[in-house]
Amino acid sequence: MKVARWTLGGLGDLFVTAGVLLLLFVGWQLWWTDVTANRVQDGTVHSLLRDFASGPRGSSAQANETPDAVPFGKAFAIVRIPRFGADYARPVLEGTTRDILMDGVGHYTGTARPGAVGNFAIAGHRTTYGHPFHDIDLLRSGDTIVIETKTQFHVYAVKRHVIVAPTDVDVIAPVPQEVGKKPTGRWLTMTACHPKYSAAQRYVVFAELVKSYPRAKGLPAGTLAAPRQAG
């Protein structure tokens, strides 16, 4: 009996220890990765702003928007979403691998460049690593999304959203969800895992370009003003 009690007691201690370690790991995943990722992403945004400030100054339409081929993993734009707060600014990097999404929002390689005809498609985490798209489900029709580059501000307006399976890659087609159709519009597609804390589905938001503004001229007053809270 003593041996049995000792064995059961030992097993109980092991289970308690395992539970504590699991809770610590979850806390690290949900909190500490956000702390470190936010620090890295804020630093990248500030580096981009310094680089942008040294870029082309005129309003010439001949200024190159972005290089024809952005190196994989390189940050080249900033996404600003007023619905997520006046100070919301996250870097956009080329590629959507796990490592890249730890450092910001990822651009699906092969999709359009910011402001171009076609579909500029990006992905971001909803949980962990700064969760840049944590509140993607709060976006409403008409909400503004600004993609800031070295030469221009591209202002998009949200049109609609869908929830799809991870295999439904037609959402990033040149014409969203219409594979094979020749694009004439200028789209922005945002994707993130759904529901929160799961990768079972994808939450997708589609937005369409309203206007592009030369960086030297800046954005019209109020463009980045926070909209009314979603009801």
Distance CA 140, CA 167 (A): 25
**Token pair recorded at residue 141:** 């029709």
Using alpha carbons, list the distances in angstroms from residue 102 to 95, 110, 123, 128: 11, 20, 11, 8
Q: Where are the beta strands (DSSP E) in 39-194?
A: 75-80, 90-94, 105-107, 118-123, 144-148, 152-164, 186-194
- Catalytic pick among 107, 125, 154, 194: 125
- Catalytic pick among 107, 154, 193, 194: 193
Q: Is 194 a catalytic residue?
A: no
**Token pair recorded at residue 226:** 């926070």
Q: Is 134 a catalytic residue?
A: no
Distance CA 37, CA 64 (A): 30
Residue positions counted in the chain: 231
Give the residue numbers annotated as catalytic, written as ranges.
125, 193
